[in-house]
């Protein structure tokens, strides 16, 4: 009888530990942070295909996104898919793409995170030389790999409601573990 009791107690403790761990995971996943995988080359060289990131879901409850933040958001044409892009402009900013450069509020955007030879082409939404004002509760977000990125230049503004969070930590591949820096 003692062996049966010990086995039952072991199984009970195992189930209890699993339920506690699962509860902690659900709370962290829903409210604090979430893993995401980089799919595609739109953020090269900053983030590359198949890397894994943690997305902070708390920061933007305390502050609004700012230029330079790398964000994860629901894709505009398919909200079941997440995009990872860099914030280029925030509400009230005037944005233009001209002669291969990005201008925010009339000043050329300094983009140290891009290779010096990288140019920014216009798109269907943000055409060459056209200026747009970013509306309230919206952002403009571009991929760092401008020639291979579906972003605000083509489909317009990112509503705040679509933002999942701020990419902040790369945990795979192991040799690249560390902070994902914004600007």
As annotated, the active-site residues are: 42, 85
Q: Cis peptide before 37, with omega less than 30 degrees from 0? A: no
Q: Which two tokens stand for residue 145?
A: 């790999």
- In angstroms and rounded to an integer, the radius of gyration of the C-alpha atoms of the chain is 21
CA–CA separation, 46 vs 144, rounded Å? 7
Are 139 and 87 a contacting pair, CB within 8 Å? yes
Closest CA to 151 of 99, 77, 79, 90: 77
Beta strands 138-142 and 107-108 are unpaired
- Select from 51, 88, 42, 46 the least CA-distant residue to 181: 46
Q: What count of residues does the chain have?
A: 183
């Amino acid at each position: 009888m003692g062996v049966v009791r010990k086995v039952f107690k072991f199984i009970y403790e195992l189930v209890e530990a699993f339920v506690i761990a699962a509860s902690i995971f659900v709370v962290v996943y829903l409210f604090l942070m979430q893993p995401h995988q980089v799919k595609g080359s739109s953020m090269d060289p900053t983030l590359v295909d198949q890397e894994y990131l943690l997305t902070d879901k708390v920061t933007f409850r305390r502050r609004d996104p700012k230029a330079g933040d790398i964000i994860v958001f629901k894709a505009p044409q398919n909200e079941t898919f997440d995009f990872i892009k860099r914030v280029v402009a925030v509400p009230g900013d005037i944005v233009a793409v001209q002669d291969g450069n990005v201008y925010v509020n009339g000043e050329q955007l300094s983009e140290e995170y891009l290779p010096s030879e990288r140019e920014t082409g216009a798109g269907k939404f943000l055409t060459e030389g056209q200026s747009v004002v970013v509306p309230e509760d919206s952002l403009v977000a571009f991929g760092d790999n401008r020639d291979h990125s579906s972003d605000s230049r083509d489909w317009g503004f990112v509503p705040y409601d679509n933002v999942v969070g701020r990419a902040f930590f790369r945990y795979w591949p192991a040799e690249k573990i560390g902070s994902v820096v914004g600007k």
